[in-house]
Chain A
Amino acid sequence: MHHISAPYRWFLRFNYAVLTVLALLCLFPLVNILAISFSSSGAVAAGKVTFWPVDWTLSSYTYMMENRQFTGSFLISLTRVALGTAVNLVLTILVAYPLSKDARTFRSRTVYAWIFVFTMLFGGGLIPTYLVVKETGMLNSVWALILPGAVPIFNVLLMLNFFRGLPKELEEAAWMDGAGHFRTLWSVYLPVSLPSIATVTLFTVVGHWNAWFDGMIYMKSPEHHPLATYLQSMLQQQLNVTTTTGMSLEEADRLSRVSDRTTQASQIFLSVVPILVLYPFLQRYFVKGLVVGSVKG
């Protein structure tokens, strides 16, 4: 321990260098987008912007704020996250608690558990699911984005395994005091489960915020699109223009009047802000929560 051999010293330097590069590669997308969003479109078109803004300007942000489609989609996304997360959390906890009981006290547990887990292993697929959503009359409604995935089985498994790890004495003490299952769940289990609830909340919020595909297929008109779907259609347009014509992004931008790159960058950046805000608060939980929940023993 006291003696560090020369080759190992070299390895350590190499190690720090590699890890720094890897971290920078992960940070790079964000920094690049941020730099482009604060640069003038001229400087961006000239390819001068990499990690630092050139010709500082806020014009893309002011321009975007006036874009009705963007602000509308942003609001839809916020609604979706608030409603969707509430529904997901309530259902996750309500399903996880009974399934965390052992089969001796709750006989039907195994049957129920398989009913839920089976949906993770086998599914009806795209068209049948689409038809059900359509038949239940939810096209163009925000509920089409919430209800089909209202019971996230992976999160249920995380919660369930966490509940199982709690000491039996907690529950017994609650029962002694005359609490029933609902009371025990609410006043005893939930307060001690905050780390794992935080983990599940992070995954749920991020999932809803990032989801774009359901918005694309269930929302028939663009004014109902959540932010991620709006961004997706915008970027897709651009990708098609650039790759099919072999033009550079800048030429394609000019020719097709696809929205300006700086504006796109600011929209992309704003779309990840909520994640960046949430992330530091929940990060310390999710590593633990994830490891406890998914890999036991």
Chain B
Amino acid sequence: MNANLKGFVRNIPLHLMLVPGLIVILIYNYIPMAGLIIAFQDFSPIGGFRVMNWVGLDNFKYLFELPGFYQVVWNTVFISVMKIIAGLTVPVLVALLLNEVRSSGFKRSVQTIIYMPHFFSWVVLAGILIDVLSPSGGLVNMALKAAGYPPIQFLASNDWFPYVLVISDQWKEFGFGTIIYLAALTSIDSSLYEAAVMDGAGRWKQTWHITLPGIRPIMILMLTLSLGNVLNGGFDQVFNLYNPLVYESGDILDTMIYRIGLQDAQYSVSTALGLIKSVVSFLFIGLGYYLAYRIANYRIF
């Protein structure tokens, strides 16, 4: 009893430290969660929460009957799955290449440069992409023209737009993605390589039998953790690059939530869509963390 009390008194400062943070997340994270009830109401910004017009699942029905809704779901999953695959393979390949570099100066400069785009915003990168991909004066189309191909409207063509998203996403993030794999590579026991050389293994064999198995756990971890992103197509990027011409292939759940909610002011319908997304994402994140825990013994904290 006495010891318990002493422990509690000793820990009072710890509770106090948490108070400001708790207040902030209570207001800005937990109250909005309660606000999700407007998905089941006919909410109007003027009446506010006080006017309870319960409509049950009408908003959800409306969504499911909306033409193009399934297209948006498909776009979101298609774009994010391609991004997840690219995000798992490209950084690993680049990390493997960087790992073969002997000159540490070259290695460090390359790393410094390829990490950098991660810190630029999609606003800035979109500004550059629009320029580079422009059908008339853009560098890419000038190169195509020089090679004898007709110009491509990358940002106005539904055939190209999703791939532009995936490639430009890698352009921004592949360098940053290598950080973790490079760290994993340096932690592989070097005596394994010495033993392999003794056995006459060449570079390919070493990579195949030692390096790749060495980073496999971290790759599996990254894969499981990325599950939570299946419904995230990347709002910042899509919003800054898309336009009415590519809604068909580029509209994702987040942009649809924005358009229905803030542009059309259909607060309840938008919230209903947000709720679906939150719940499904939550299940995927949960599954991801569970698998990460079972397979790679990973804990969040």
Which B residues lie within 8 Å of A209 (CB)?
121
Which B residues lie within 8 Å of A272 (CB)?
120, 124
Mark each residue of chain A from 245 to 264: 1 if its CB lies under 8 Å from any CB of chain B, else 0.
01011110000000001001
**Chain B binder among A53-61, A64-72, A78-86, A127-135:** A127-135
Residue among B94, B112, B131, B235 with max Cβ neighbours from chain A (10 Å): B131
**Complex formed: what's the CA distance from A94 to B25 in Å?**
14
Q: Is the CB of A147 within 8 A of B274?
A: no
User: Given A121-B286, A228-B123, A147–B28 Cβ distance below 8 Å?
Assistant: yes
Q: Is the CB of B274 within 8 A of A125?
A: yes
Cβ of B245 within 8 Å of any chain A Cβ, yes or no, is: yes
**Chain A binder among B70-78, B79-87, B98-106:** B98-106
Q: Is the CB of B270 within 8 A of A238?
A: no
Cβ of B110 within 8 Å of any chain A Cβ, yes or no, is: yes
Contact residue among B33, B106, B202 (Cβ-Cβ distance under 8 Å from A122): B33
Which A residues lie within 8 Å of B45 (CB)?
131
Cβ of B136 within 8 Å of any chain A Cβ, yes or no, is: yes
Instruction: Name the distance in Å between B91's Cβ and chain A's nearest Cβ.
Output: 11
Q: Is the CB of A244 within 8 A of B15?
A: no
Closest to A209 in B: B121
Which B residues lie within 8 Å of A126 (CB)?
257-258, 261-262, 270-271, 274
**Complex formed: what's the CA distance from A37 to B250 in Å?**
31
Instruction: Name the distance in Å between A116's Cβ and chain B's nearest Cβ.
Output: 7
Chain A: interface secondary structure? Answer: helix
Cβ of A63 within 8 Å of any chain B Cβ, yes or no, is: no
Instruction: Name the distance in Å between A68's Cβ and chain B's nearest Cβ.
Output: 20
Which A residues lie within 8 Å of B286 (CB)?
121
Cβ of A201 within 8 Å of any chain B Cβ, yes or no, is: no
**Complex formed: what's the CA distance from A105 to B300 in Å?**
20
Mark each residue of chain A from 75 to 111: 1 if its CB lies under 8 Å from any CB of chain B, else 0.
0000000000000001100110111010001111000
Which B residues lie within 8 Å of A213 (CB)?
235-236, 239
Which A residues lie within 8 Å of B301 (CB)?
99, 113, 117, 157, 160-161
Which A residues lie within 8 Å of B30 (CB)?
119
Closest to B261 in A: A127
Closest to B112 in A: A283
Q: Is the CB of B278 within 8 A of A129?
A: no
Q: Is the CB of A19 within 8 A of B243?
A: no
Q: Is the CB of B124 within 8 A of A25?
A: no
Closest to A181 in B: B13
Mark each residue of chain A from 188 to 224: 1 if its CB lies under 8 Å from any CB of chain B, else 0.
0000000000000000001001111100010000000
Q: Is the CB of A248 within 8 A of B33?
A: no
Q: Is the CB of A128 within 8 A of B35?
A: yes
Which A residues lie within 8 Å of B262 (CB)?
126-127, 130, 217
Closest to A95 in B: B21
Query: Shortest 10 CB-CB distances between A and B: which pairs?
Result: A124-B32, A128-B35, A125-B274, A248-B136, A210-B121, A128-B32, A181-B13, A98-B14, A95-B21, A119-B29
Known: A1-B197, A132-B35. 18 other contacts (CB 8 A): A26-B116, A29-B120, A32-B128, A94-B21, A119-B25, A124-B29, A124-B34, A131-B32, A132-B28, A180-B13, A209-B121, A239-B240, A239-B241, A248-B135, A249-B134, A279-B116, A295-B221, A297-B297
Interface residue ranges, B against A (CB under 8 Å): 7, 10-11, 13-15, 17-18, 20-22, 24-25, 27-36, 38, 45, 94, 97-98, 100-101, 106, 109-117, 119-121, 123-128, 130-132, 134-137, 139, 142, 153, 155-156, 171, 174-175, 179-180, 183-184, 197, 202-203, 218, 221, 235-236, 239-241, 243-246, 257-258, 261-262, 267, 270-271, 274-275, 277-278, 281-282, 285-286, 297, 300-301
Query: Can you show 6 pairs from A to B with CB atoms below 8 A apart?
Result: A99-B301, A115-B22, A122-B282, A125-B36, A128-B271, A129-B35
